[in-house]
């Protein structure tokens, strides 16, 4: 008989498997990425408990040849309900999208789980400007992935007066160094708002109520971080939630 396991996990999404069953994609404290076959659950009262972003305790059997764990039991541990704050809900969804695209070693699952849990708890206290906390979360993920992004200093000279960024690498440059970039078409000036946000990222939680964001700056910073990720991993970072998140700013 297969070994029965137990783990606390955030539900990322549920996928129809048959008329009566679902495949649950989740991220667990001990096991990291989980794919759980929930047989017959669509006809059971438990189906109403399944909502992305919520934390569950799953009991399941080890994967079969298909790679799917067989769900035995589940119980709701904590519900994160952001339905009355769509901007905050979208920022939370971005984190689930990101985790579903990453390859996270099993031995690092606890650290990533705690990072996600802390992020959702923090979001639960917000009403607006959730994108600022999304960026802070994303930068922490970058650091855990081994590609720390310094948002306060010029990539070339270490200066603090950031002026522009390079679209090929996502690197930041100061007023003096950006003029020396060879490819003039591959660089973009930072707006005053973007430059301020980048300089404040280490303490961004202290400025949530004072920073006034605009859509162009939000879009530019989303692109900057996506290009930075792509330059290191040679694959695009495409999160559908980011396009939605930008719509909350004018």
Domain 4-78 homologous superfamily, CATH: Nucleic acid-binding proteins (2.40.50.140)
Q: Which pLDDT value is given to residue 186?
A: 85
- pLDDT-above-70 percentage for the chain: 98
Inter-residue contact 235 to 200 (CB < 8 Å): no
Output the pLDDT for position 121. Answer: 97
Predicted local distance difference test score (pLDDT) of residue 65: 62
| Rounded mean pLDDT, 146-164 | 95
More confident residue, 41 or 2: 41
Average of per-residue pLDDT across 54-71: 88
Could you tell me if 15 and 38 are in contact, meaning their C-beta atoms sit under 8 angstroms apart?
A: no
Q: Which pLDDT belongs to residue 184? A: 65
Condensed to tens digits (0 to 9), the pLDDT of residues 14-61 reads 999 999 999 999 999 999 999 999 999 998 888 888 999 999 999 999
pLDDT, position 1: 47
Q: What pLDDT is attached to residue 67?
A: 78
Sorted by where each begins, the domain ranges of the chain are 4-78, 86-246
> Measured between alpha carbons, how far is 52 from 81 in angstroms, rounded to an integer?
10
Q: How far apart, in whole angstroms, are the C-alpha atoms of residue 136 and residue 132?
A: 6
**165 touches 191 (CB < 8 A):** no
pLDDT score, position 3: 85
pLDDT at 66: 63
Do the beta carbons of residue 150 and residue 110 sit within 8 Å? no
Q: How far are the Cα atoms of 24, 58, 127, 158, 242 from residue 245, in angstroms, in the given order?
A: 25, 31, 14, 31, 5
- Taking each helix axis from N to C terminus, what angle separates 86-101 and 130-144, rounded to the nearest 10 degrees? 20
Per-residue pLDDT tens for 177-206? 988 777 767 889 999 999 999 999 999 999
pLDDT digits (tens, 9 = 90+) for 93-120: 999 999 999 999 989 999 999 999 999 9
Task: For domain 86-246, say whether CATH 1.20.5 is its number.
Answer: no
| 27 Cβ contact partners less than 8 Å away, ≥ 6 residues apart | 9, 10, 12, 33, 34, 96, 99, 109, 112, 113, 116
Q: Pairing mode, if any, of strands 69-78 and 32-38?
A: parallel
Question: What's the whole-number average pLDDT of the chain?
Answer: 93
pLDDT of residue 47: 83
């Amino acid at each position: 008989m297969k070994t029965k396991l137990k783990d606390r996990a955030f539900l990322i999404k549920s996928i129809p498997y048959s008329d009566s069953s679902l495949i649950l994609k989740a991220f667990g404290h001990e096991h990291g990425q989980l794919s759980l076959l929930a047989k017959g659950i669509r006809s059971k009262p438990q189906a109403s408990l399944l909502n992305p972003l919520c934390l569950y305790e799953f009991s399941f059997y080890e994967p079969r040849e298909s790679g799917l764990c067989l769900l035995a039991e589940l119980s709701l541990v904590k519900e994160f309900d952001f339905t009355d704050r769509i901007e905050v809900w979208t920022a939370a969804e971005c984190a689930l999208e990101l985790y579903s695209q990453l390859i996270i070693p099993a031995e690092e699952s606890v650290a990533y789980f705690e990072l996600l849990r802390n992020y959702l708890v923090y979001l639960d206290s917000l009403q607006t400007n959730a994108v600022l906390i999304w960026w802070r979360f994303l930068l922490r993920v970058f650091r855990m992935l081994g590609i720390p992004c310094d948002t306060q200093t010029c990539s070339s000279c270490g200066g603090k007066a950031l002026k522009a960024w390079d679209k090929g690498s996502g690197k930041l440059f100061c007023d003096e160094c950006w003029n020396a970039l060879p490819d003039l078409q591959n660089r973009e000036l930072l707006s005053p708002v973007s430059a301020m946000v980048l300089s404040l990222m280490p303490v961004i939680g202290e400025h949530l109520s004072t920073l006034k964001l605009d859509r162009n700056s939000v879009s530019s910073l989303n692109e900057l971080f996506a290009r930075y990720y792509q330059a290191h991993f040679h694959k695009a970072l495409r999160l559908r939630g980011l396009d939605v998140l930008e719509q909350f700013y004018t």
